[in-house]
Amino acid sequence: MVTPERVRCLFGTDGVRDVANSGIMMPEMALRLGRAFVLFLTERGVPRPKIAVGRDTRRSGVMLESALVSGMMSAGADVHSLGVFPTPGVSYVLRNSDFDGGGIISASHNPAEYNGIKFLDSSGSKLSDDDEATIEEYLGDNLLDDWRPTGASIGGLVNECARAEEYAAWLSGQLSLAGDCDWPIVVDAANGAVSTIAMTVFSNWRGRVSYTGVTPDGLNINEGVGVIHIRHLAETVKRESAVLGFAFDGDADRVLLCDGLGRVIDGDIMLWIISRYLASRGQLGSGVVSTVMSNMALDEKMAEDGIEIFRSQVGDRYVVDMMRKTGARLGGEQSGHIIALDYASTGDGIGAGILFLRACRELGEDISSLVDRFPRYPQLLRNIRVADREGVLASPELEEARAHALAKLSGSGRILLRPSGTEPLLRILVEAKDEGVMRAVCDDLERAVRSVSGGAG
């Protein structure tokens, strides 16, 4: 965690992100970020870093990759360009090769006009808050501009587009372990970085496969498809009479599923199924990590099987941090980030989907019944515009309202009050078995927040 003295200004929960060619996502910033990342590695004892770089299908990706790579090379790094490549694919390459770090140009689930930059370490894991804060500090350091290698010390560039075949082959091998399943399925690649790879991998599926979101044109990534528009997958699954559908996001580190009735199988249900499979194989470690946003139904399901569940703050890298602290080998988010450390160092949409398939087959699960067998607690989320979010959260009046709310829930629900990381909003999440109690508690908390903040909003 970053200390208050080292608050990040550019990096958010998943790298640096903005509208491409605007704000902080200009080529000039990409170049400086590339140089700063190399300086970060060099200062940690890597004299001539070897870095793998991939991007998603956005039109702005080539522009920003050119700038990022130029910055890295000008700081003395040897860069291997993977071309259009999903985030988990870059992680796979780092984990199985001798690279010192990785860079990814992607804005994940955001619309096509956005783009972003994030970095991975040599193991294929996302950097810590503290590491990102250090990279930001280098951006303001004179050394960043003064440090200019020349001659043979300037970095080189290698194009390694064939790495996609290596990653696809690994995924295909994982899919083969799902056995002789031949259900009809639907694959929605969100017109993103995994479009081609997904078709290669699922070409080995014994059953009928219908594809959607596999014709990227640089401007249609996430447009009406993928995890953000899960209704598209739901409708396609029903139309194609499929048993299961997979939807990815733009950089394919997330996956959401739909059953044959078009009902969403989210990260909570996937954690429930995969955890039992890994436990049966002795690969679960100390338990499962989910975020504070996961439904309490997951806690109940884990308790039924004697599996311990740990909670982390929102963000897949915080999930991984908690996994390392607790010894858990599986973690994830309701939104579809699933991390199984024996298989990947970060969220891998296709990999997690395949692992879910394997788990269902080995456990004899009926996919059509999973949603029915996972009775969720009703949830209510409200966003209240507040100028001084931290001040409101620390107020005695809100603390008293929180205590009354917990008493009203009587142990059959929970509340979560947290500030938005990107907007002047305070988020209130209430979850309870009784929907009437849930709404009453949420009303009480909203009144308290508005009272403390002076009615602003």
Using CA atoms, how far apart are residues 231 and 321, in angstroms rounded to an integer?
Answer: 32
Using CA atoms, how far apart are residues 351 and 254, in angstroms rounded to an integer?
Answer: 10
Strands 209-212 and 244-248: unpaired
Please indicate whether residue 108 is annotated as part of the active site.
yes
Residue 19: CB partners within 8 Å, gap ≥ 6?
25, 113, 114, 115
Torsion of CA 325, 330, 331, 332, to 10 degrees: 160
Give me the helix-helix angle, 27-42 and 60-74, nearest 10°.
40
Residue 284 structure tokens: 């679960």
Are residues 193 and 161 in contact, defined by beta-carbon separation less than 8 angstroms? no
Helices (H) and strands (E) in the chain, counts: 15, 18
Using CA atoms, how far apart are residues 74 and 28, in angstroms rounded to an integer?
Answer: 13
Strands 185-188 and 114-121: unpaired
Catalytic residue among 70, 106, 108, 172: 108
Using CA atoms, how far apart are residues 312 and 291, in angstroms rounded to an integer?
Answer: 5
Using CA atoms, how far apart are residues 376 and 353, in angstroms rounded to an integer?
Answer: 22
Q: Of 396, 383, 391, whose CA–CA distance to 425 is shortest?
A: 383
Q: Which helix (H) or strand (E) holds 79?
A: strand 78-84
Which residue has 């990342």 as its token pair?
37
User: What phi and psi values does residue 178 have, to the nearest 5 degrees?
Assistant: -75, -5
Using CA atoms, how far apart are residues 175 and 165, in angstroms rounded to an integer?
Answer: 15
Q: Which are the catalytic amino acids?
A: 108
